[in-house]
Structure 1
Amino acid sequence: MTTTEAAAATPSPAPAPPFGRALCAMVTPFTAGSGHLDLDGAQRLAGRLVAEGCDGLVLSGTTGESPTTTDTEKAELIRAVREAVGDRVPIVAGVGTADTPRTVELALAAQKAGADAVLVVTPYYSRPPQDAVEAHFRTVADASCLPVVLYDIPGRTGTRIEPDTLLRLAEHPRIVAVKDCSYDFLGVQKLLARTELAFYAGCDEHNLALYAVGGAGYVSTVANVVPGQLRAVLDAFDAGDTAGAARSQQRATELIELLMCAGLPGTVTVKGLLNALGLPAGPVRAPLLPAGRETVDALLAAYERLVAR
């Protein structure tokens, strides 16, 4: 085999994920009693997450209770977390709403506050057809200088970003990634083969599976409480220890299920567990209600089993 032939036979290394591999969908801490934004708590939580292995932080997403925080609070949160973590990790700011002009305003405000990218969810409730979905994302991507992460979560929005729509959106120079909660594993694999979009698992049970077929990593709610344990899954896989990666993912499954698949929103369960561990979280905002004692006890037991291994 000639040198030219050998070079052609060697696969090119995968491009580096645009925001790192291990991202946390961070909760938004509120103060006990008043329920005001707890910026000190947010800074302490962000510092802990970065120290324990998170490559990036996603603020004001679903887990961050974006529907019940004000535009001012969203900008304040970005500034406070940026102050806490400096330039050590990227900050991705959730700006998606059901209203295109307001989403543009939030994207511009996030850019001004110091975000590195924006997370834009499919417009919800109005159930726009695919040409309107595409126009919405293009309008937001055209409006600011920040990279855009599309957020495909039809279980909450009622509307899927269809694969053909994603193929067209992938041509936009600032649309660079997708947080995938579509539960369409086959469709995602086809898109990975046909685009350069970075796909991040948005459902913790898919963290390893998506990474193994070429995903960029994850945006994890569970990482709020066990950032190191989840990162260890990707580290083992990258080191060639696929069996070890599988074992680490399996060990986390009990806690993932209790936090994300037990009938309560992940924000509720994660905040319940964080509060029980003495970490910054505080209450959830209405209409959400706090996790009950029985739920928290079960979460604590599963957490202790995981960290003891």
Structure 2
Amino acid sequence: MSTRNARALAEFGSVSVAMVTPMHPDGSIDVDAACALATRLVDDGADGLVLNGTTGESPTTHQPEKDALVRAVVDAVGHRARIVAGAGSNDTQHAVRIAQGAERTGAHGVLVVSPYYNRPSQEGVYRHIHQIVESVDLPVMLYDIPGRTGVAIGDEILDRLAQHDRVLAVKDATGDVPAGFERMRRTGLAFYSGDDNLSLAWLAHGAVGVVSVVGHVVAGAYAEMVERIGTGDLSRAQDLAVELAPVCDAIMGAGQGAVYAKAALELLGAIPHRTVRSPLVEADESELTDLAERLRALGILAA
């Protein structure tokens, strides 16, 4: 294993859950429920948690709330798992403030996504990310998800960012495993699967871990998949991927991941409410019934 991969595993873990932000029915953040959920996920096999990312509804949560959430979860499970905080915004100075708040409140690292919606040039993407990286003394995982942001982290700027000592990893949600394979070999950066249904493919191509939404309900299975790939037991890893495919479809295939992850967690009794903030809309009773039937069929929800 390369030195950078080893550093990334030490800083970010190998099985991170992109954690939802539990909310009370009025939309305020339920910090107690967040700490209970974080404990459950670590007990289930996660060795990392990503807070205040897209699944955590980062576009509609605000600085004091983000900081309070990070501080509470670090206090609850930071001695057992790596806590990474999202520092995403299409306003560079805003993203810097989020990153600095994460550092002050005890996060172990930051996840930095390319700026969304305003679609800057590649040089603009580089300067945005580089300024965030320079604003804190935390290890950084880049997040490449052009389907959401509208702009990719291109090869040339990835190579430049890879020269920074604190940029250790990439969460890749491009869907392009062959390109990612070439990029990880070229840059030396550690790669993490950002697409649940491609986790086996990423791991088999050299990714060191996963950042998963579906891990809210099957973190242990992902932990086993990572372990099996590491020991060369591809057959068992393939079996796990087959078992996980319908779970991925149940959580990610029917709508927005945060909505269905929260619905699943409410059904499992892991959070009190499936509340989301507008413009997201919580799963309705029909959708909840359908999800419950699917989770029961998969043996995740008791009959």
Q: TM-score, normalised by structure 1?
A: 0.92
Distance in 1 (alpha carbons) for counterparts of 2:28 and 2:78: 24
Give CA deviations for 1:126-150 in whole Å, capped at 9, x if unaligned. Answer: 1001011011111111111011111
- Corresponding residue of 2:253: 261
Which of 252, 271, 276 is equivalent to 2:267? 276
Which range is displaced more, 229-238 or 77-86? 229-238
Which of 106, 110, 113 is equivalent to 1:118? 110
Give CA deviations for 1:7-66 in whole Å, capped at 9, x if unaligned. Answer: xxxx8799422411100000000012x221101000000001011100100000010000
* SS, match of residue 165 in structure 1: helix
- Corresponding residue of 1:109: 101
1:258 Cα deviation (Å)? Answer: 2.2
Give CA deviations for 1:160-200 in whole Å, capped at 9, x if unaligned. Answer: 11122211110111111111111121210111111221111
Distance in 1 (alpha carbons) for counterparts of 2:162 and 2:231: 30
- Corresponding residue of 2:198: 206
Q: How many residues are treated as equivalent by the alignment?
A: 297
Which range is displaced more, 275-284 or 201-210? 275-284
Contact 2:4 2:188 in 1 (8 A): no
**Any residues of structure 2 matched to 1:190-205 within 5 Å, and which?**
190-205=182-197
Which of 181, 189, 193 is equivalent to 2:181? 189
Which of the two has higher C-alpha Rg? 1
- Corresponding residue of 2:297: 305
Give CA deviations for 1:92-119 in whole Å, capped at 9, x if unaligned. Answer: 0001100011111111111000001111
- Corresponding residue of 2:53: 61
1:274 Cα deviation (Å)? Answer: 0.9
- Corresponding residue of 1:134: 126
Contact 1:252 1:306 in 2 (8 A): no
* SS, match of residue 225 in structure 1: helix
Runs (4+) of structure 1 exceeding 6 A deviation are: 11-14
Contact 2:177 2:201 in 1 (8 A): no
Which of 215, 237, 242 is equivalent to 1:245? 237
**Any residues of structure 2 matched to 1:1-309 within 5 Å, and which?**
15-16=5-6, 17=9, 18-32=11-25, 34-262=26-254, 264-280=255-271, 282=273, 283-307=275-299
Letter in 1 for 2:265: L
Identity, % of aligned positions: 43
Q: TM-score, normalised by structure 2?
A: 0.93
1:281 Cα deviation (Å)? Answer: 5.8
Contact 2:84 2:111 in 1 (8 A): yes
1:304 Cα deviation (Å)? Answer: 2.9
Distance in 1 (alpha carbons) for counterparts of 2:286 and 2:97: 42
* SS, match of residue 88 in structure 2: coil
Which range is displaced more, 288-297 or 239-248? 288-297
- Stretches of structure 1 that go unaligned for 5 or more consecutive residues are 1-10
Contact 1:271 1:281 in 2 (8 A): no
